[in-house]
Amino acid sequence: MLTTLLFCMLIGFDGLLWGAIIGYKRVYFSLGQLLFLSAGVGVIFFFTYLFGSLVGVEISTSLLNRLSGMVFLAVGLLQLTHSGRFLFARLVRNLFIIVNIDNIGYGVVSGVQEVHPVTGVFVAAAFFVLFVFGMVAGSSARFKFLARNNKVLPSLILIVIGTYKLLFS
């Protein structure tokens, strides 16, 4: 039960962070898209859980963190150098890809550790709730630093996360 809560918190924190960024940018999408995004997070977690339980071999979490760090860094640099728009053109699709980079590693590790398979449902629910909370918090935030740097902030966050994962995992 404790590991289920931990996975929900880890993936939910991604939802909180991205919800706050999207809420701050005042980029909204429909409830259906948010439900689809959350369900997709749960489905990816479940299928990578199945993969982890079938493989049954402990995969280095350090390796998974470094790989996800490289992807975060590459996406952040690409976003920073190629576009001033937020998260390219298709917000939900790109957000789905970015969020599930870490989710894949968590799913595999949960399968190896034999966490209950229903954890994917809890992960999806935690992501949804914390994403909505992040959107509300982000839309009500008024910081001068963020207002001046709102074009580069999402890219810088991805670069910082990627660098951190590469150096400290």
3-state SS record for 116-133: CCCHHHHHHHHHHHHHHH
Domain count for the chain: 1
What is the domain range of residue 162?
2-168
Q: Which residue would you say has higher pLDDT here, 17 or 130? A: 130
Instruction: Indicate the pLDDT class of residue 129, thresholds 50, 70 and 90.
Output: very high
Whole-model pTM: value is 0.71
How many C-beta neighbours within 10 Å does residue 7 have?
A: 24
Q: How far apart are CA 70 and CA 65, in angstroms?
A: 9
What are the structure tokens assigned to 81, written together?
């150098």
Stretch 65-76: mean pLDDT: 71
Per this entry, what is the length of the chain? 169
